Structure 1
């Protein structure tokens, strides 16, 4: 109105006010704004689902609310051919969505929870499927143990070999508690078979004895979420995906999914976890005083087994055959079974540590073997013919390079001489720790056609030990022992017999015989 009063045209004033010319003219004439008309609640075309919606589709949705619109559309096409085209699919989708919002079943509600410091820690295992991890170009089957404090979000992740066993849970949990410096009041997991028997309803006896004692050792209250209800463990399930996404991005940035050793892979994970923990450092410092103090000693994170070493210098642990040093043949040994290794003890003394072998779940048999040529290399050297027909022949060869060399030796030499050369090479490689150097020498000599047993032994001839220096021992006078004891026998005897000569030691020319007449 001010623009019109100042002499502006109707179109100019309407543009300045942000309205149409018609509305500006109506306002200038004193007419009231138009009232909204009747709500549009009538159809402009025929309902294509009128014949089947109330009679067929709604009863199907009431019986199974999880039915999708695409499933109902395909059902209509099969029951009424050439009657319903794909043009009604969008209409059916809107109709199903509207029915669920107005008459469908109630949906589960996610309630926001408040966590108090030092109250709860959560554990879970997860698979890393975003990238194929390999160790020295070999597929590496593993799990990731993930621990997290509910209040601060402090995390710990460890690589686990094998399944979700109690041994893996015990080691991962204790390492996590040691890393954060304290234990919470409550430990939450899902229905892990490593912690629960899963008997169904009998909660009092559902807790396994080993897990119960572990929680008592750290004064933890064990709890778990309901079966198949992952959202009840959301404080650990959601960080699973976030961490694995960060790990995948770090591997892509690294440019390779292959690692030289397991420790390199674990080191990369620890670097990522350290960065994530820096984001919640302030809240973790608030939570740390509320954590319980850790006990003096760790709980056993291994299973104790017993085995007898056979004449083949092997032990059998969980259907897996392991070779051990031959000096243990006939001994009854104690085995500490970890998730990734075996500790072999004689009494209280650890004699050897072996890498644990895990059989894949899809393998046709549970049996396997782990053979180390170093454990029986002395006997192998003196029994080269045994190497020819040994059932472990391929396992005794340390790697693919030695297996290829063995094929070349069999082609260029007589079988016994080839076995003699290979067993001597394995003996030198074990005793001098020159596995790679021996393989390189064999390969070069085979190509040149100059390989012989004498050349092999001469090339890796052990250095001559330094001679032991001789000792010049002199017999001390016996009076020195009297002085050491604080009693001068000679002076005492001289007082009694002044004419007694001084006492001197004499060397015995030979040892007296103990066999007399």
Structure 2
């Protein structure tokens, strides 16, 4: 408990960290009065901290400058010179103070201020000189359920035929060695949070002690020299407060890499054993399903000469983990971009399409690690897989169909059409039907007929619409109504190979009219055919037909 009070004395302390400390002490059983006395706050502050990990917004004032600021570079230069100077011929604070006055014209700065800055800065500059024995490793004993390590690693994957670099998140329990992995399109804060959330759900709890981290930008806003003190990002502080995470930051640079060597080695082992050769997948969801399966297989592994497997040791460790919180934490980031005249929005240097009816509107966008969801009010109007490269564009052809109905001539050269072809959504069957429709109805009307067919994808599955197009093309019925009829017929029969129907005419049968289709669903009629012989008496006689009258 004393540690919590000490942390508040660090200059980087923010109100978010104060809330996190209050929530942590409350979970440990500290009374509200004791929390008020310890942190010198009122009961309202304690109540607000326990109700939400996020404090109310307060006006942020810019930091005040110091008269010493113009002379800090000169002080740093003197301290760096001391790294190469003999031990007995280095600057004292008095000598630095005198040189600042004589050589740099410093005035109105007290000796105490210079001494405080040198005391803070000198260890930071001398910490990277390599004068300590960095090659000494001390064996450690990890208690079950108390410690874990987290890190990201890069992996190469062939995603839909293109080789890309993805980010592999790993959380590893130090006692059992049980690790949980997850692949994301980026290594940003959204992936950092979602990786934690996934790992805690899989493990069924949160480590009760410390979790080791390096200086990831998702968690650390500023490293205070070469110490372990960090200025954390506010979202990370609120996130770890919500989950009850106690972070422990490694020293910056390569000198601190060995402090979380377990997860470093785990990422390398996983990459060599499960991602060689380079896997080929169609989506990140498919790859993550395989990773979850590999994680379960690795439960039978052993580390070195350990007598028990990961699974056996984790079974003893799992009951000692902290319980998961009941309420969820929103890991996504919210944006409010405006839709431009190209029916696109810009998020993190990339552009995504939305329906054309929303041009000029300001929408709410929730950005996740691997997905982007667009809301109009509370309604989801678009959903895209997150782009990997900067400055890229992802367009959905369905978003432009209403506009293309008015401008059918824009379809042949549309970027959205090229992306649909590359993704396999616009198939050769579409092209064949479109070509036949333009030949039969002309370019404008044939293209409009195709757009009406593409609108069917909103109500019917892709395979059934393609099957309907193939059947209609085989029968020569080049209208959207005919495609809709055959698509619904395919949905009812659930044809297993709709894409092969175009070249397999013996499976198609003849084209079915709407009336005949309805009659086929009626039960068989076993009644005899009706007779019309009684109506013959109403016909005129042959004599009357020859022109003779009907006499007595």
Normalising by structure 2, we get a TM-score of: 0.54
Aligned twin of 1:188: 212
Does the C-alpha gap of structure 1 residues 398 and 433 become closer, same or farther in structure 2, counting only changes over 3 Å?
farther
Displacement of 1:134: 2.4
Which of residues 144, 153, 158 in structure 1 aligns to 2:177?
153
Aligned twin of 1:51: none
CA distance in 2, matches of 1:141, 1:442: 39
Does the C-alpha gap of structure 1 residues 401 and 335 become closer, same or farther in structure 2, counting only changes over 3 Å?
closer
Question: 8 Å contact 1:134–1:140 — kept in the other structure?
Answer: yes
How many positions carry a matched residue from both structures?
345
- Identify unmatched segments of 5+ residues in structure 1: 1-62, 64-104, 360-365, 468-517
| 1:269 equivalent in alignment to 2:291 | yes
| 1:221 equivalent in alignment to 2:246 | yes
CA distance in 1, matches of 2:335, 2:483: 44
Alignment of 1:371-390 (within 5 A): 371-388=395-412, 390=414
CA distance in 1, matches of 2:432, 2:178: 54
State which structure, 1 or 2, has the greater radius of gyration over its C-alpha atoms: 1
Does the C-alpha gap of structure 1 residues 221 and 392 become closer, same or farther in structure 2, counting only changes over 3 Å?
same
- Identify unmatched segments of 5+ residues in structure 2: 1-83, 85-131, 301-308, 489-513, 519-552
CA distance in 2, matches of 1:374, 1:204: 51
Secondary structure of the residue aligned to 1:308 is: coil
CA distance in 1, matches of 2:471, 2:395: 24
CA offsets 1:401-437 (integer angstroms, 9 cap, x no match): 8487659967985654564454344334444334675
Does the C-alpha gap of structure 1 residues 408 and 377 become closer, same or farther in structure 2, counting only changes over 3 Å?
closer
Displacement of 1:165: 0.8
Secondary structure of the residue aligned to 2:155 is: coil
CA distance in 2, matches of 1:350, 1:419: 29
Which of residues 416, 423, 440 in structure 1 aligns to 2:451?
423
CA distance in 2, matches of 1:268, 1:369: 28
Aligned twin of 1:231: 258
CA offsets 1:224-244 (integer angstroms, 9 cap, x no match): 212213212112111222222
Secondary structure of the residue aligned to 2:240 is: helix
CA distance in 1, matches of 2:134, 2:352: 55
Secondary structure of the residue aligned to 1:345 is: strand
Aligned twin of 1:210: 235
Question: 8 Å contact 1:143–1:160 — kept in the other structure?
Answer: yes
Displacement of 1:324: 2.0
The two structures, once aligned, show a CA RMSD in angstroms of 3.7
Which of residues 395, 399, 402 in structure 1 aligns to 2:419?
395
Displacement of 1:191: 1.6
Alignment of 1:402-417 (within 5 A): 402=426, 413=439, 415-416=443-444
Aligned twin of 1:246: 273
Aligned twin of 1:93: none
Aligned twin of 2:32: none
CA offsets 1:358-412 (integer angstroms, 9 cap, x no match): 21xxxxxx32221111223233234312325655452355646848765996798
Question: 8 Å contact 1:442–1:451 — kept in the other structure?
Answer: no
Alignment of 1:227-376 (within 5 A): 227-229=253-255, 230-248=257-275, 257-278=279-300, 279-359=309-389, 366-376=390-400
Displacement of 1:345: 2.5
Does the C-alpha gap of structure 1 residues 121 and 342 become closer, same or farther in structure 2, counting only changes over 3 Å?
same
CA distance in 1, matches of 2:482, 2:322: 64
Question: 8 Å contact 2:353–2:399 — kept in the other structure?
Answer: yes
Does the C-alpha gap of structure 1 residues 333 and 234 become closer, same or farther in structure 2, counting only changes over 3 Å?
same
Aligned twin of 2:74: none
Secondary structure of the residue aligned to 1:385 is: helix
Question: 8 Å contact 2:468–2:484 — kept in the other structure?
Answer: no
| 1:141 equivalent in alignment to 2:171 | no
Displacement of 1:154: 1.4
Question: 8 Å contact 2:456–2:465 — kept in the other structure?
Answer: no
Secondary structure of the residue aligned to 1:142 is: strand
Aligned twin of 1:174: 197
CA distance in 2, matches of 1:401, 1:303: 29
Secondary structure of the residue aligned to 1:110 is: coil
CA distance in 2, matches of 1:421, 1:165: 44
Question: 8 Å contact 2:166–2:185 — kept in the other structure?
Answer: yes
CA distance in 2, matches of 1:451, 1:344: 40
| 1:118 equivalent in alignment to 2:126 | no
Does the C-alpha gap of structure 1 residues 140 and 443 become closer, same or farther in structure 2, counting only changes over 3 Å?
farther
Question: 8 Å contact 1:429–1:438 — kept in the other structure?
Answer: no
Does the C-alpha gap of structure 1 residues 331 and 401 become closer, same or farther in structure 2, counting only changes over 3 Å?
closer
Aligned twin of 1:128: 155
Alignment of 1:97-116 (within 5 A): 108-116=135-143
| 1:165 equivalent in alignment to 2:188 | yes
CA distance in 2, matches of 1:452, 1:165: 52
| 1:432 equivalent in alignment to 2:460 | yes
CA distance in 1, matches of 2:236, 2:405: 48
Question: 8 Å contact 1:186–1:223 — kept in the other structure?
Answer: yes
